[in-house]
Chain A
Amino acid sequence: MTTMPQIDLAGAGVQPATAVAKPKVVARDVNVHYGEKHALHNVSIDIPEQAVTAFIGPSGCGKSTFLRCINRMNDTIASCRVTGRIELDGEDIYDRSLDVVQLRARVGMVFQKPNPFPKSIYENVAYGPRIHGLAQSKAELDEIVERSLKRASLFEEVKDRLDAPGTGLSGGQQQRLCIARAIAVSPEVILMDEPCSALDPIATARIEELIDELRENYTIVIVTHSMQQAARVSQRTAFFHLGKLVEQGPTEHIFTTPEDKRTQDYITGRFG
């Protein structure tokens, strides 16, 4: 690893384009505008397969915006415009021929606030498999639901009350239900937008444990405000500031020997 920051040819910013062995998602020069506001400047990043990548940075720095670009959730915002290139397994996800519905089946998402549907626990998990026609029979659907709940380490707590409403669970359980719901459609990538910010420390610890287990099967990208959390769960970390990707690299490297002054200031708590 060189300590000299590479300066890209366009001169748009200092971005060490650290190579990753097996990139799952590759982004190049991504810019996002909300109407007149330029929210994200020339973001280029490689996200490795079967690992946890954390996005950190102060509020409003664009990390959530970039996360939502990866499964095109920004499409639901009318004023939002995305330029640049994002590839999933070498395929351009902003290509006209790509079906956004299929993309989101491959790239699942877990939100900041647990948002179970006002349906039963079973129906919450079965929702995705149903709309994508993943189960041919009731038995198969039962199996998918059970497997997803087990992977989200929720099954033992709810197996006797799968018909109870999902909204009746505790906050931490609701968030694990949302993770189970996302897992149920067998995505390749799971995006998590501050999944623990509405939870207490115990529930947070369980989710973090879960993220570590899920890494074996999925590529995970997590946005977090907690630097401890990023340090605990992620293998790679990217630091965003004022709409720019300032620095990225292996997590221990970012937290021990950051190259950029701003990264150092942020992780030592001098701002943000």
Chain B
Amino acid sequence: MVAVFFLALVAIAVAAYLAGRLKGQRLVAAGARLHSLPTYHGLFLAVACVIPMLAVVVAWTPLAPRVVESRAIAALPADLQPKSELEHDARLREARLVAVGQYAGAPSPGLAAAGEAYRSARAAAEVLLLALGIAAAAGGFVWGSRQLAPDFRARNRFERVTKVALIACSAVAVLTTVGIVFSVLFETLRFFGRYPWHDFLFGLQWSPQIAIRADQVGQSGAFGAVPLFVGTTLVMLIAILVAGPVGLFAAIYMSEYATPKFRAVAKPVLEVLAGIPTVVFGFFAALTVAPFIKSTGEALGLSVASESALAAGLVMGVMIIPFVSSLSDDVINAVPQSLRDGSYGMGATRSETIKKVVLPAALPGIVSALMLAVSRAVGETMIVVMAAGLAGNLTFNPLEAVTTVTVQIKTLLVGDQEFDSAKTLSAFALGFVLFFFTLLLNVVALRIVRKYREQYD
């Protein structure tokens, strides 16, 4: 039924457009000089029909279900009439199941009547919606076509509608961000209501299992997040130690040394690396890299955990190489050729030109590329879930298992959770810290980029 409504919407929009354009063309044929092209007359008329029709849906959505539900409840016999909110919902659920024919067993006659009432009321509501919608569209059409005249500013009117639509779309993105920030913020504040924030930020012990019985061992419910921050930092540092030099040198080769032919092949291939799903990187880390590091380490007489920060960091480093190389490549290419010519003209070699002119000029952009890569690494989850481990060890040894903020968020929220325990709420606090950190990195990176842009303008 919804599909029918939207098909009608599209059909009416097309018809109104054609009618409006035709009217515009007739006016032209009659010798009038139009303010706007006939196409804009058509577009204006289509919009004049579509907006009232959509307004009907918007008004209908919260209103109609209530009417339908009250009909269903009214159809119940006196002995089944709900006495409480809970009963009301239960009856309604049953009536709905009866209506769609999925009620298990045979419904009582009273319930069957309610189901029937529900079904018929809903069918009537849908027909009514369609009728109202078409009526609204017709009203819009009549109003719109009365407006059409040679000096009517159809183009300006339509463009105003377009602008509102554009504003609405950008508002969606902004409001979503704001909404997420606030929902995380409120849950975080709830967590800090149960657990002191300084213990969270500076506590050295992470063991989020809360004791159910008083004498339970090892279930302390300690939420000191420092081991997670240290683990995250450790993995991130290893990743950036891999991706920084490799990505940067790859970018230098691509932009300064590679022949155009090689570049045309190699650059897309490198960027394919960015398209590999992180879960694939994750099992690559857990099943190939980690065992390799373990056996190599043992051959050298080191004790290596089977899940190590090193394995996760290495693979994450490989994952973010394309970010570093692709962004740095763009930045290096943005250095004007005239600077290179100036350097070559002085008798500098290519290597001297890169070291002394190109890289210093591109440095701010390269730094911001690294920062974007870091914020990407900090937020990455799949690889560390599979390869870094779960134990909240406070260690700087890359050969031991560590855990990261993202891994703990995932662990805390997987499975059935009650949403009022400190354990669950701590995930929001972790999420907020993570969000704040990456936001900070992005802001700093963007500021650096802006400063860099001004340099050549």
Same complex: yes
Known: A127-B356, A131-B352. A115 touches B342 (CB 8 A): yes
B55 within 8 A of A: no
A26 within 8 A of B: no
A-chain residues with CB within 8 Å of residue B53 when the two chains form the complex: none
Cβ contact within 8 Å between B345 and A108 = yes
**A165 smallest CB distance to B (angstroms):** 9
Cβ contact within 8 Å between B339 and A109 = no
Q: B333-370 CB contact bits vs A (8 Å, 1 = yes)?
A: 00010111111111111001000110011000000000
B177 within 8 A of A: no
Cβ contact within 8 Å between A132 and B347 = yes
**B: number of interface residues (CB 8 Å):** 21
A119 within 8 A of B: yes
**B128 smallest CB distance to A (angstroms):** 70
Cβ contact within 8 Å between A76 and B352 = no
* Cα(A167)–Cα(B456), bound, Å: 8
Q: State which residues 206-240 of B face A: CB under 8 Å.
A: none
B31 within 8 A of A: no
* Cα(A150)–Cα(B341), bound, Å: 24
- Checking B341, B346, B357 against A76 with a beta-carbon cut-off of 8 angstroms, the contacting residue is B341
B-chain residues with CB within 8 Å of residue A73 when the two chains form the complex: 341, 344-345
* Cα(A76)–Cα(B356), bound, Å: 18
Cβ contact within 8 Å between B345 and A182 = yes
A-chain residues with CB within 8 Å of residue B345 when the two chains form the complex: 71, 73, 104, 108-109, 111, 182
CB closest residue in chain A, given B452: A118
A-chain residues with CB within 8 Å of residue B357 when the two chains form the complex: 117
**B351 smallest CB distance to A (angstroms):** 10
Which of A78, A105, A111, A131 has the largest count of B CB atoms less than 10 A from its CB?
A131
* Cα(A119)–Cα(B456), bound, Å: 12
A-chain residues with CB within 8 Å of residue B360 when the two chains form the complex: 117-119
Cβ contact within 8 Å between A115 and B347 = no
B-chain residues with CB within 8 Å of residue A102 when the two chains form the complex: 347
At the interface, is chain B mostly helix, strand, loop or mixed? helix
A181 within 8 A of B: yes
A113 within 8 A of B: yes
CB closest residue in chain A, given B342: A115
CB closest residue in chain B, given A104: B347
B415 within 8 A of A: no
B260 within 8 A of A: yes
* Cα(A214)–Cα(B347), bound, Å: 20
B259 within 8 A of A: yes
Known: A104-B344, A128-B346, A182-B345. A117 touches B259 (CB 8 A): no
**A: number of interface residues (CB 8 Å):** 27
Cβ contact within 8 Å between B346 and A181 = yes
* Cα(A117)–Cα(B360), bound, Å: 10
* Cα(A243)–Cα(B356), bound, Å: 36
B170 within 8 A of A: no
At the interface, is chain A mostly helix, strand, loop or mixed? helix
* Cα(A132)–Cα(B346), bound, Å: 9
Q: State which residues 98-143 of A face B: CB under 8 Å.
A: 101-105, 108-109, 111, 113, 115-119, 127-128, 131-132
Known: A101-B347, A131-B347. A117 touches B341 (CB 8 A): no
CB closest residue in chain A, given B346: A128
B61 within 8 A of A: no
A178 within 8 A of B: yes
Cβ contact within 8 Å between B341 and A115 = yes
Cβ contact within 8 Å between A78 and B356 = no
B176 within 8 A of A: no
B108 within 8 A of A: no
Cβ contact within 8 Å between A131 and B342 = no
* Cα(A105)–Cα(B347), bound, Å: 5
A-chain residues with CB within 8 Å of residue B341 when the two chains form the complex: 73, 76, 109, 111, 115
Cβ contact within 8 Å between B259 and A78 = yes
Q: State which residues 249-266 of A face B: CB under 8 Å.
A: none
Q: A130-174 CB contact bits vs B (8 Å, 1 = yes)?
A: 011000000000000000000000000000000000010000000
Cβ contact within 8 Å between B347 and A178 = no
B-chain residues with CB within 8 Å of residue A103 when the two chains form the complex: 347
B417 within 8 A of A: no
Cβ contact within 8 Å between A185 and B347 = yes
B-chain residues with CB within 8 Å of residue A127 when the two chains form the complex: 343, 346, 348, 356
* Cα(A27)–Cα(B348), bound, Å: 25
**A191 smallest CB distance to B (angstroms):** 8
- Checking A78, A105, A113, A119 against B346 with a beta-carbon cut-off of 8 angstroms, the contacting residue is A105
CB closest residue in chain A, given B338: A115
B84 within 8 A of A: no
- Checking B339, B340, B348, B455 against A131 with a beta-carbon cut-off of 8 angstroms, the contacting residue is B348
**B356 smallest CB distance to A (angstroms):** 7
Cβ contact within 8 Å between A111 and B259 = no
* Cα(A105)–Cα(B360), bound, Å: 23
CB closest residue in chain A, given B260: A78
* Cα(A266)–Cα(B440), bound, Å: 62
* Cα(A116)–Cα(B356), bound, Å: 13
A-chain residues with CB within 8 Å of residue B352 when the two chains form the complex: 131
Q: A180-221 CB contact bits vs B (8 Å, 1 = yes)?
A: 011001000000000000000000000000000000000000
Cβ contact within 8 Å between A131 and B338 = no
Q: A38-69 CB contact bits vs B (8 Å, 1 = yes)?
A: 00000000000000000000000000000000
* Cα(A104)–Cα(B353), bound, Å: 14
**B198 smallest CB distance to A (angstroms):** 45
Cβ contact within 8 Å between B347 and A117 = no
B-chain residues with CB within 8 Å of residue A108 when the two chains form the complex: 345-346
A-chain residues with CB within 8 Å of residue B343 when the two chains form the complex: 117, 127
Cβ contact within 8 Å between B347 and A128 = yes
**A102 smallest CB distance to B (angstroms):** 7
Known: A119-B360, A131-B352, A167-B455. A113 touches B338 (CB 8 A): yes
Q: Which residues of A contact B (CB under 8 A)?
A: 71, 73, 76, 78, 101-105, 108-109, 111, 113, 115-119, 127-128, 131-132, 167, 178, 181-182, 185
Kindly list the 5 A-B residue pairs having the minimum CB-CB distance in the complex, ordered from nearest. Answer: A109-B345, A104-B347, A105-B347, A115-B338, A128-B346
A selection of 5 A-B contacts at a CB cut-off of 8 Å is A103-B347, A115-B341, A119-B360, A132-B347, A181-B346
Known: A113-B338, A131-B347. 4 other contacts (CB 8 A): A101-B347, A104-B347, A115-B342, A117-B342
Q: Which residues of B contact A (CB under 8 A)?
A: 259-260, 336, 338-349, 352, 356-357, 360-361, 455
